[in-house]
């Protein structure tokens, strides 16, 4: 079913507003910042799809006030298409900023914390130009006028600890209030997203997330990555992350995948998604913060195998794909030696 743009925006706002704080935009301000498609909208092509999908994500977070102040998500993301971004993490809390570059640079800081916290700087082309984990003050160059800063705060010590850590994020270095939503027909963008996502459903999919526009070697691959998992980081051993998707799997079968411990520097997570790459209602992820290892040190993750099955993810009968996330990936993961998405079998 194709949603009218304003209806879809309203659903996003209604679903996400209960998990946010720090929004300076009132309801009227959110409504006035929407865009209605008209004859002057920008035509979407292979060449500009990544920019249009990025604009759609910037729009969704602008509706929630991220262009005026930092937006903290205090709960895990909304399920289904009510989520503001495709394939959102279920293992961290988000804090989002949309800011203008000053003299070509974005300035930000990461507070000291005893839990995981990272900042990814995503430019208007969809590239995560920078992924920073260590506490400190930073000034980084970007190749566009605006950037979205995605703060990811770990939930390894619980939601309350994550929320507390969010309160120490400083915002006085950001230039807010100048971003304007780009004039795309966002229904058309969603049509492109659906088509590109379906293209990858029949095979395991690995993301490369080129860091800048100059790093793109395959435009179509880049478009597939934006459609399936916009906003991911370019892999960097012991710092940034790597992501892979499985094929679509049968939610009525007990399925297992066993793999060598990835030994990510920070943690590894396994999350189930719908065919459209959105989180599924009532379904929880599994991560290395809590999973149980096998006697030989390997890891088995179960899907729909019952409550007593090791590291079980219950998709409530829904067909699904799962995403592997390696936070601070190890060299062996970078080298492609661990592929849980390719070793799934019936239990």
CA nearest 67: which of 111, 105, 34, 19?
34
The whole-angstrom separation of Cα 82 and Cα 10 is 9
In this structure, are residues 291 and 102 in contact, taking their beta carbons and an 8 Å threshold? Answer: no
Q: In 10 A of CB 258, how many CB atoms?
A: 16
Nearest by Cα to 24 from 234, 128, 177, 170: 177
CATH-assigned architecture of domain 235-346: Sandwich (2.60)
Sign of CA dihedral 65, 229, 344, 298: negative
Question: What's the chain's average pLDDT?
Answer: 91
Question: Token pair of 87, please?
Answer: 């394939």
Residue among 122, 118, 173, 177 nearest 149 (CA)? 122
Q: What is the pTM of this model?
A: 0.88
Question: Do 276 and 340 contact (CB within 8 A), yes or no?
Answer: no
- Residue count (the chain): 347
What confidence score (pLDDT) does residue 308 get?
97
Taking only the tens place, the pLDDT of each residue in 227-275 is 999 999 999 999 999 999 999 999 999 999 999 999 999 999 999 999 9
Q: How confident is the model at residue 25 (pLDDT cuts 50, 70, 90)?
A: very low
Residue-level pLDDT at 38: 57
pLDDT tens track for 291-310: 999 999 999 999 999 999 99
Phi-psi region of 276 (alpha: psi -120 to 50; beta: other; left: phi over 0): alpha
pLDDT tens digits along 180-220: 999 999 999 999 999 999 999 889 999 999 999 999 999 99
pLDDT one-digit tens code per residue, 89-147:
999 999 999 999 999 999 999 999 999 999 999 999 999 999 999 999 999 999 999 99
The structure tokens listed for 92 are 């961290």
Q: For the chain, what are the domain ranges?
A: 5-185, 235-346
Q: What is the pLDDT of residues 122-137, one digit of tens each?
A: 999 999 999 999 999 9
Question: What CA–CA distance (Å, rounded) separates 229 from 88?
Answer: 8
CA–CA gap between residue 69 and residue 63 (Å, rounded): 12
- Both tokens of 282, joined, read 């009532």
């Amino acid at each position: 079913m194709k949603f009218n743009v304003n209806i879809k925006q309203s659903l996003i706002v209604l679903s996400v507003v209960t998990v946010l704080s720090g929004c300076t935009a009132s309801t009227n301000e959110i409504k006035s910042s929407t865009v209605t498609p008209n004859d002057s909208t920008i035509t979407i092509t292979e060449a500009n799809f990544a920019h249009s999908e990025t604009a759609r994500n910037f729009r969704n977070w602008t509706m929630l006030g991220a262009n005026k102040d930092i937006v903290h998500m205090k709960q895990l993301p909304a399920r289904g298409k009510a989520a503001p971004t495709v394939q959102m993490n279920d293992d961290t809390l988000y804090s989002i900023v949309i800011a203008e570059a000053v003299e070509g640079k974005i300035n930000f800081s990461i507070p000291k914390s005893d839990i995981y916290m990272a900042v990814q700087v995503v430019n208007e082309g969809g590239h995560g130009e920078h992924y920073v984990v260590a506490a400190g003050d930073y000034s980084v160059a970007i190749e566009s006028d605006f950037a979205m800063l995605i703060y990811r705060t770990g939930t390894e010590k619980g939601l309350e600890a994550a929320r507390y850590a969010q309160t120490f994020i400083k915002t006085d270095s950001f230039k807010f209030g100048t971003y304007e939503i780009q004039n795309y027909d966002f229904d058309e963008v969603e049509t492109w997203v659906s088509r590109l996502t379906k293209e990858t459903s029949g095979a395991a999919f690995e993301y490369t997330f080129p860091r800048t526009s100059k790093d793109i070697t395959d435009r179509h691959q880049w478009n597939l990555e934006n459609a399936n998992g916009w906003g991911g980081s370019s892999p960097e051993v012991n710092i940034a992350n790597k992501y892979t998707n499985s094929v679509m799997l049968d939610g009525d079968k007990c399925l297992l995948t066993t793999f060598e411990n990835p030994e990510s520097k920070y943690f590894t997570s396994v999350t189930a998604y719908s065919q459209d790459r959105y989180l599924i209602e009532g379904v929880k992820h599994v991560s290395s913060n809590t999973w149980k290892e096998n006697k030989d040190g390997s890891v088995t993750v179960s899907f729909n195998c019952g409550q007593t099955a090791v590291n079980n993810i219950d998709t409530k009968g829904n067909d699904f794909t799962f995403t592997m996330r390696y936070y601070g990936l190890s060299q062996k993961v970078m080298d492609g030696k661990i592929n849980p998405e390719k070793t799934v079998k019936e239990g």
